[in-house]
Amino acid sequence: MRVKDLNEFDLKIIGPYETRFRGKVVSLLASTPVGKVGILAHHAPYLSIIKEGKIEFILKSGENKSFELDGGLLKVKNNQATVVYF
């Protein structure tokens, strides 16, 4: 399956002083205490701690983006994912 065939969902990556990303993506990959978790559009509601490391996501154009984070929280609900980092 090609990236442009995947459905999008809203992603916000926000911290105490800035919003690092706000937009539509087709996938999100983050490290949690139980391993890596992958999020796609219409994922079931989900809440987890994010471990220190890289958070990766892919835009509809196929462009890969990533940020190094010191940890945070991931919430997924209603086709929206929010990462709050420390």
Where do the structural domains in the chain lie, given as residue ranges?
3-85
Give the model confidence (pLDDT) of 13-68 as tens digits. 999 999 999 999 999 999 999 999 999 999 999 999 999 999 999 999 999 999 99
Of residues 30 and 2, more confidently modeled: 30
Neighbouring-strand partners of residue 75? 47, 82
Q: Check residue 1 and give its pLDDT.
A: 56
Domain 3-85, CATH number (from 1.10.1370.30, 3.40.190.10, 2.60.15.10, 3.40.50.1110): 2.60.15.10
Residue type, 41: A
* Burial (CB count <10 Å: 0-12, 13-18, 19+), residue 59: middle
pLDDT confidence of residue 60: 92
Q: What is the pLDDT of residue 4?
A: 72
